[in-house]
Chain A
Amino acid sequence: MNKPIVSQLLSTPAAHREWEQEYAATIGTDKNVINRSGVAIEPLYTERDWSAAEHAGELGLPGQPPYTRGIYATMHRGRTWTQRQLIGMGTPAEYNERLMEVLAQGATAVSLIPCNSVFRGYDMDESHIELLGTCGTVVNTADHMDRALQGVDLARTSCAMNDPSPFTLLAFMLATARRRGTDWRQISGTSNQSDYLSHYVANHMFFRIALPGARRILADHIAFCNQHVPKWNPMSVVGQHMQQAGANPAEAVAFTLSSAIQNAQDCIARGMDPDDFLPRFTFFFDISVSFFEEIAKFRAARRIWARVARDRLGAKDPRSWRFKFHGQTSGVDLTRQQPLNNIARVTVQAMAGILGGLQSLHTDAYDEALSVPSADGARIAVATQNILREEAHLTDVIDPLGGSFYIEKLTDDMQAEIERIVKIVDDAGGMYQAVESGLVQRMIGESARKFQRRIDDAEQTVVGVNAYQVEEDSSARPINPRPNRDAMQTHLDSFKAFKAQRSQAAAQGALDALVRAAGDPRDNVFGRVVEAAEAGCTHGEICHTLRRELGFGHVQAIV
């Protein structure tokens, strides 16, 4: 009688030895393979590395702690990810036009990227006109937000605002909702850039208020939203900036979890119950082209967060343990050379995110390494998601790679590496202090340089950059759009007219209340920001007031 099939599939010691010998004889000198997190990778994984019998408790089923296989019982089979393309350019009217196109093409939620001048805390009349609207929409007042979101039902459409401290965009949106008679309790979405620590670490465009003030405003923001806008996610903990700045995948997750722990502890220290605010914590990650590693990254992150939330932060409600995340395909991986190749990179990145169990996805346009995406580039990015969701059968099965010897071992290794780095941050006094002292910035800078050296030395292939180069016709490159200068000038003129015509007494009164709130820890700064937005105050006025009261956030020069 034949042996049962199962024993033929499992490698007996003899079979394993036989494979090892044949492998060694065939391969000659084996390469030393390490992944992007620096972990050594074996040529083959078997039940010696991971077995379901031993590790079942580390997996759980989908929707069951520790959520390695997904945070919901149905995952993408029930509801696929939210298709959320980041958009923002030009004036609010131009943004609205693009928004309507993206919604018509299949996007299911709104996002708004403001102009870099907004990120930096300035109004449009304080900025170089050359830079207005080139990277995002110029939204400085509640009127601007109302125009940008014309035709969008705020009670039914999830809106993500790229809105760093002090969250004026959400304030403008709440003011808009009040005008339209929309109940704040129906408004859903996310403050995408609420993680001031990640801004301080990875700089990016944000940086407005000194660390202690930014820390307080975030806690005020969380408390306010919990009470008045309960469907809103006030906290998006951001690993994306760090990985874009050079952190490897394990570091990016470790620093992000450390930030989440810090923010949660700050809220707990104010007397808040973790089960009141943790269900509204979300995470935001970069997805690199390192396919398997990214999948393992997300699986490990879910597992660690479930335990941190329960054991370390004391949350009792399972909703607090669920690691919800938005993924964005990595722009750093995209190349200027042979830009159409980026469509392949974005596809691989997006697949890693989907197989990693994400809740919401932005796919980059192939021409992002050239400039702000063209309309064609943006359309293909949306189509890529549609293809992956509806043609490729990726969503038929939940966690389809679960149980793979390699993926599970990689997930375990990733977990160990993340926990090692979290410990380094803990030993430094927590994320706030580790950022204040520059420790995190130095670690990220070192990883960025290591990776650059691997590319310069051609240890890491980048197609079109250090291998497979071709002569390229620069005229074949897409022409990237720049905002219409005349439309921007008209927008600027009407902004100046608005400021001259509004009730100055009401605006000044609201700014005075903001000053008092900044000096009174029992008051809620974000609540006063919302009142200021409703009183006609501008973004710049609100930011300048808080900067004056709470100090300017200077950045350390760490090379």
Chain B
Amino acid sequence: MTHGSLIPKILVTKIGFDGHDRGSRVVAAALRDAGMEVIYTPPWQEIAAVVKLAMEEDVDVIGISSLATDHLIVPKLMVALRSAGLGDVGVIVGGIVPDREEQVLLEAGVARVFHPGSAMADIADFVHGLAERVRARRIAA
């Protein structure tokens, strides 16, 4: 897929207690190689710290990697983003998320959940499209 000249800006991070970071590192590197501006943090970020970083860095998208149930607090992140006036930032989640809980995340406003086995190119395409929509919404506002 080809995209316009927009360079998406994405924060790749992990919240909660788990530190399995192979996924977040591989995805961060793949998105960087796809030409995006990637802000990568080590795992174990507090929700408040993610919101602050997203605001300071003015990112289009936040990618949360969750391998060990940390996605269960992503709805709390969505609330915190909205309270901080960052409701327009796109949020994606990647990792081990059971179907039932995927629905909960989507209902909380997560744009998409990527499961194990996702191709890097598909993730990059989706982030690109999501970032375009986020920018368009911001201009409209």
Contact = CB atoms under 8 A, between A and B. Distances in A.
A74 interface: no
Given A116-B68, A246-B22, A555 B42 contact: yes
Contacts of B30: 449, 452
B96 A205 contact: no
Interface stretch (B3-11, B56-64, B69-77, B127-135): B69-77
Contact of B19 (A122, A205, A369, A559): A205
B16 A336 contact: no
A370 B98 contact: yes
Contact of B25 (A206, A371, A445): A445
Interface in A538-559: 554-559
Given A116-B68, A559-B29, A131 B16 contact: yes
Given A371-B96, A559-B28, A559-B29, A335 B117 contact: yes
A135 B98 CA distance: 14
Interface stretch (A1-9, A214-222, A473-481, A516-524): A473-481
Interface in B83-141: 96, 98-100, 115-117, 119-121
A372 interface: yes
A31 interface: no
Given A116-B17, A206-B19, A449-B26, A134 B69 contact: yes
A117 B96 contact: no
A316 to B, nearest CB: 39
A448 B69 contact: no
Interface string A411-446: 000000000000000000000000000000000010
A448 B25 contact: yes
Contacts of A557: 40-42
Interface centre among B16, B17, B25, B29 (most CB of A within 10 A): B17
B46 to A, nearest CB: 10
Summarize A's interface: helix, strand, loop or mixed. Answer: loop
Interface residues of A, number: 48
Contact of B18 (A127, A128, A135, A558): A135
Contacts of A371: 69, 96, 98
B63 to A, nearest CB: 13
Contact of B119 (A120, A207, A369, A456): A456
Contacts of B99: 474-475, 477
Contacts of A128: 16, 72-73, 76
Nearest to A453: B120
B37 interface: no
Interface string A334-377: 01110000000000000000000000000000000111100000
A204 B116 contact: no
A472 B59 CA distance: 35
Contacts of A462: 117
A203 B69 contact: no
A203 B19 contact: yes
A456 B120 contact: yes
A130 interface: yes
Contacts, number: 111
A245 interface: yes
Contacts of B44: 120, 207
Interface residues of B, number: 35
A559 B40 contact: yes
Nearest to A136: B68
Contacts of B96: 336, 369-371
Interface in A113-134: 115-117, 119-120, 122, 127-128, 130-131, 134
Contacts of A206: 19
A465 interface: yes
A135 B117 contact: no
A244 B16 CA distance: 20
Nearest to A446: B29
Interface string A448-475: 1100100010000010111000000011
Contacts of A480: 98
B74 to A, nearest CB: 10
A558 B32 CA distance: 13
Nearest to A332: B22
A556 B43 CA distance: 10
Given A370-B96, A480-B98, A203 B17 contact: no
Most buried by A among B28, B30, B68, B119: B68
Nearest to B72: A130
Nearest to A554: B42
Contacts of B16: 116, 128, 131
B43 to A, nearest CB: 6
16 contacts: A128-B73, A128-B76, A130-B73, A244-B20, A335-B117, A336-B96, A370-B96, A371-B98, A445-B25, A448-B25, A449-B30, A456-B120, A466-B117, A479-B100, A559-B32, A559-B38
| 6 A-B pairs with the lowest CB-CB distances in the bound complex, closest first | A116-B17, A134-B69, A203-B19, A465-B117, A130-B72, A555-B42
Interface of A: 115-117, 119-120, 122, 127-128, 130-131, 134-135, 203-207, 244-246, 332, 335-337, 369-372, 445, 448-449, 452, 456, 462, 464-466, 474-475, 477, 479-480, 554-559
Given A130-B72, A448-B26, 11 more contacts: A115-B17, A116-B17, A131-B69, A205-B18, A246-B22, A335-B116, A452-B120, A475-B99, A557-B41, A558-B25, A559-B29
